[in-house]
Amino acid sequence: MKALLFFASLGFVAAENGLKGWLRYESLPCSSQCRRNLPSGIVALNATETSPVYVAGLELQEGLKDIYGSHAQITHSQCETDSVVVGTIDQYRQTCGRMDEPPELDEDGFWLSTSGQGVQILGQNERGALYGAFEYLSMLAQGNFSEVAYSTNPSAPVRWVNQWDNMDGSIERGYGGESIFFKDGGIVNDLSRAAQYARLLASIRINAVVVNNVNANATTLTPQNIEGLGRIADVFRPYGVQLGISLNFATPQILGGLSTYDPLNKCVIQWWTNVTAQIYKRVPDMAGYLVKADSEGEPGPETYNRTLAQGANLFAKALQPYGGIVMFRAFVYNQLNESNWKADRAKAAVDFFKPLDGKFEENVIVQIKYGPIDFQVREPTSPLFANLFHTNTALEVEVTQEYLGQQSHLLYLPPLWKTVMDFDLRVERQPSVVRDIYTGKRFNRKLGGSAAVVNVGTNATWLGSHLSMSNLYAYGRLAWDPTEDAQEILEDWIRLTFGLDNKVLQTLTRMSMESWPAYENYSGNLGIQTLTDILYTHYGPNPASQDNNGWGQWTRANHKTIGMDRTVSKGTGYTGQYPAEVAAIYENLDTTPDNLVLWFHHVNYTHRLHSGKTVIQHFYDAHYEGAVTAQTFLTQWESLEGKVDPERYEDIRRRLDYQTGHSIVWRDAIVNFYHNLSRIPDEMKRVGNHAWRVEAEDMDLTGYETYVVSPFETASGSMAIVTNSNSTTGTATTTLDFPSGVYDLAINYYDLYGGVSQWEVYLNNRTIGHWIGNNEHTLSHTPSIYLDGHSATRINFRGVQVNQGDVLKIVGTPNGIEPAPLDYISVLPPGTVD
Ligand code: GCU
């Protein structure tokens, strides 16, 4: 033990793969205050091994041992005064006697007291007691021995996560490996990761997981799979986490063999009643169903001219005898025609759901994405929150970074979520902050809460990258208390995940807090949406993909103007879906905030923003600034070398290095696209001017040929080179004409799915670097089989001595379908970003 403490005090940490997340409980030195305060024993007021209170006892024992090397024994029946006592209020009364002033607790709430002789952790229920144990351990793990005595209650009863796992083991929009629940159409045998997931979730007070994709497979409900789901529920239960299930609306027909799935048909009702009974027989505490109906091709009640409320109520009634909940998704919209300037997908949710307000059963919650489109880098608050007064609602966010860098870009999401949670919709000119609406306070609803699409997988880091876990941690904290501060939550996560070093704390806090603004800067600005490829991977840039299709994520960009006119006076009328005070702000170009101007208005590129810049100049400037900030993430992180264990340090470093390159891919693609469209020059003359670049297509080529890249803006000069065949190497040579000196060499290439090419770089026939195109195996985002903005990437060789007249040669060896593609070489004086 002594040796361990010694190493901990020197700041060394063992190599870590991320599996323990924020529950890693790094060993800390025990000060005299610590010795005075550490409890000598643990009293867990339930001896049943599968109970959350029993688990809380074990967690406390392990945590105390890991953090402070203290060995506390667990008992279950005697209330020792210098122990930590954990249990429900009722259990405490029974075993330890009367409480003078019992704390006021709601369901899942807890009381934590470290003042007085021992420590008391008392839950309203067992789940609450476990939450309290994790809270106490979180304090200890941060070296916090302050005396506290408080009770805390959840903002809302529903604090769920959604997994988009398919029965074949793949995960829709998942970037952290395969499913921890499913494989080959059934439930995996080894559910140890599912149990570990429940443990992580319990520590952030999440109380249910919907385990299968909203685009649900009817076979989820075969008797064999219900048994398997029961096994998942069994491993969740000791952590107080309940099971939820996504349903396919047509299951009675697909699986049940009925000729219909009409929600008002007696046989259909009976079918759902029966299957629900079977599920509850196996899983008596099942949380409920999640339903995506009449959305993106999923079946629903409209097939039978029934309303969405009739569809939702079908499940609600089947669940009522068991106390289950239906989470019914508001993500319902139709394909639209862009030539109609009144058409607007953003209006769909209110159009569909407002007329149904008050028609849903009491155990239905309408689950609403934060914005009216689809998890974009910036959206206004969904107006549906201001249109349902007699219906329960929940906020839906994405922890998985579908449109936001897919875990290959650093992006701390809570500041984005907060733009919605904290937004005051001013319903009837009264304070109507969104978090008060979905938690039920504003309209006196008993049910409500939040759901996050999380999509962890078998990857040891869970989400596919270490730094993305801050988003999961923060989601839990905000689901419990949406008034919490995004940065304070982050700081707790950093201390728990990377230790107590102040420089690590400061640096990671700064990087994380800068990450969303930076991403917005180098992707889509002013409310135009992310500008990613909405027709393919949702990852890299492709602004043209937004328009000329029926998906309704239009930018309406032409050579003079850009943006959606969503005003009532001239546009789609969307602003009219907001309460009067908010509508008035957005209706008027002068009062619309810059960051949403193109969401609400169709303007000239030369329109002047409140900032004084024109729209187009804002685009240019923001993209250059965003990419510069992304470069600093790498340098900031590199300043922490030696302060973070080598395994995580290097993994994160490699990703941030990738991000430096991909932020430039984004930058160049977007500025080139709009420069080409508008023909308006950049006042700073950066766009199209690359003093330090050599285009691959301008080099002397043997075995390589030029290739016209599409979309054009995802290649410098819109061209790249590929090997003549998939089996012969290519060589590209150039004589460098830069003043002699030390440079950073950046080589832009394409890394495709379906091959691992190799490249070798020589300077005057001396090897200076070698790399392989294996991003598809080492990074988390959806790979691409084309040369495009998803596969475009960069490798950096820093600090290379280059003399004027040196001959630079790159030899590319293709593999599979990947023809060793190259875009350009930058010979950058240190500090230059291009
Ligand atoms: C997005 C996402 C889909 C998902 C859908 C949903 O459109 O790209 O994969 O199915 O949202 O939320 O249902």
Q: What is the 3-state secondary structure (H, E, C) of 191-234?
A: CHHHHHHHHHHHHCCCCEEEEECCCCCHHHHCHHHHHHHHHHHH
Per the residue annotation, which of 126, 402, 436, 492 is the catalytic one? 402
Q: 108, 262, 374, 657: which one is catalytic?
A: 374
Nearest by Cα to 662 from 772, 783, 555: 783
| pLDDT at residue 80, as a whole number | 82
Pairing, β 158-165 against β 208-212: parallel
pLDDT per position as a tens digit, 21-77: 999 999 999 999 899 999 999 999 999 999 999 999 999 999 999 999 999 999 998
Where in the chain are all domains bearing CATH 2.60.120.260? 693-828
For residues 780-793, average pLDDT: 98
Among residues 630, 667, 406, 660, the alpha carbon closest in space to that of 539 is found at 406
Q: Which atom of ligand 1 is nearest to the CA of 172?
A: 9
Architecture of domain 543-564+602-678: Alpha-Beta Complex (3.90)
Nearest to 610 by CA among 670, 524, 526, 521: 526
Residue 635: partners with Cβ closer than 8 Å, 6 or more residues away: none
Name every residue whose Cβ is closer than 8 Å to that of residue 7 and which is 6 or more positions away in sequence: 27
Q: What is the 3-state secondary structure (H, E, C) of 153-186?
A: CCCCCEEEEEEEECCCCCECCCCCCCCCCEECCE
To test the ligand 1 pocket, which listed residue (161, 214, 400) has its Cβ within 8 A of the most ligand atoms?
214
Closest C-alpha residue for ligand 1 atom 13: 214
According to the model, what pLDDT value does residue 623 have?
98
Cα of 79 vs centre of ligand 1, distance in Å, is: 51
Question: Is 713 a residue whose pLDDT tops 80?
Answer: yes
223 prior amide bond cis, ω within 30: no
Query: Best of 246, 327, 331 to mutate for ligand 1, by most ligand atoms within 8 A of CB?
Result: 331
Report yes or no: 449 and 461 within 8 Å, Cβ to Cβ.
Answer: no
Strand, coil or helix: 424: strand
Amino acid at 660: T
In the reported structure, the alpha carbon of residue 491 is separated from the centroid of ligand 1 by a whole-number distance in angstroms of 31
For ligand 1, atom 7, which residue shows the shortest CA distance?
A: 374
Predicted confidence at residue 606, as pLDDT, reads: 98
Nearest CA to 381 out of 563, 596, 546 is that of 596
Task: For residue 78, name the pLDDT band (cuts at 50, 70, 90).
Answer: confident
pLDDT in tens, 237-255: 999 999 999 999 999 999 9
* Per-residue b or e along 820-830, where b marks 16 or more CB atoms closer than 10 Å to that residue's CB: bbbbbbbbbee
Res 335: pLDDT? 97
- What length does the chain have? 834
User: pLDDT tens digits, residue range 570-611?
Assistant: 999 999 999 999 999 999 999 999 999 999 999 999 999 999
Q: How far is the CA of 815 from the centre of ligand 1 (A)?
A: 33
Topology (CATH level 3) of domain 693-828: Jelly Rolls (2.60.120)
**Ligand 1 geometric centre to CA of 316 (Å):** 23
Q: Which ligand 1 atom minimizes the distance to the CA of 402?
A: 8
Ligand 1, closest atom to CA 214? Answer: 13
Active site residue 402: yes
Question: Quick one: which atom of ligand 1 is closest to the CA of 215?
Answer: 10
Where exactly does CATH 3.90.1330.10 map onto the chain?
543-564+602-678
pLDDT for residue 15: 61
Alpha-carbon gap, residue 282 to 230, rounded angstroms? 6
Evaluate if residue 685 carries a pLDDT over 60: yes
Clarify whether 668 is annotated catalytic. no
Angle 615-638/646-678 helices, nearest 10 degrees? 170
User: For residue 360, is pLDDT > 80?
Assistant: yes
Question: Out of 62, 82, 296, 638, which one is annotated catalytic?
Answer: 296
In one-letter notation, the amino acid at residue 796 is N
Q: Which of 770, 768, 831 is nearest to 802 (CA)?
A: 768
Ligand 1 centroid distance, CA of 675 (Å): 31
Active-site residue, 16 included? no
Q: Which residues line ligand 1 (CB under 6 A)?
A: 172-173, 214-215, 292, 296, 331, 374, 402
CATH 3.30.379.10-classified regions of the chain: 21-152
Distance 373 CA to ligand 1 centre (A): 10
pLDDT in tens, 601-656: 999 999 999 999 999 999 999 999 999 999 999 999 999 999 999 999 999 999 99
Structure confidence at residue 5 (pLDDT): 38
Instruction: Give the atom of ligand 1 at the shortest distance from the alpha carbon of 538.
Output: 8
Class of the CATH-defined domain 158-494: alpha beta
The fraction of the chain above a pLDDT of 90, given in percent, is 96
pTM given for the model: 0.97
Cα-to-centroid distance, 624 and ligand 1 (Å): 31
Query: What separation in Å is there between the alpha carbon of 753 and the centre of ligand 1?
Result: 23
pLDDT of 14 strictly over 70: no
pLDDT surpasses 50 at 4? no
Residues of the chain above pLDDT 70, percent: 98
- Taking CA atoms only, the protein residue closest to ligand 1 atom 12 is 331
The segment(s) of the chain belonging to CATH 3.20.20.80 are 158-494
Domain 21-152 has CATH 3.30.379.10: yes
Using left for φ > 0, alpha for ψ between -120 and 50, and beta otherwise, residue 28 falls in beta
> Looking at ligand 1, which atom is closest to the CA of residue 292?
13
Q: What is the mean pLDDT of the chain?
A: 96
Q: What is the pLDDT of residue 232?
A: 99
The best mutation among 213, 296, 399 to test binding of ligand 1, ranked by most ligand atoms within 8 Å of the C-beta, falls on 296
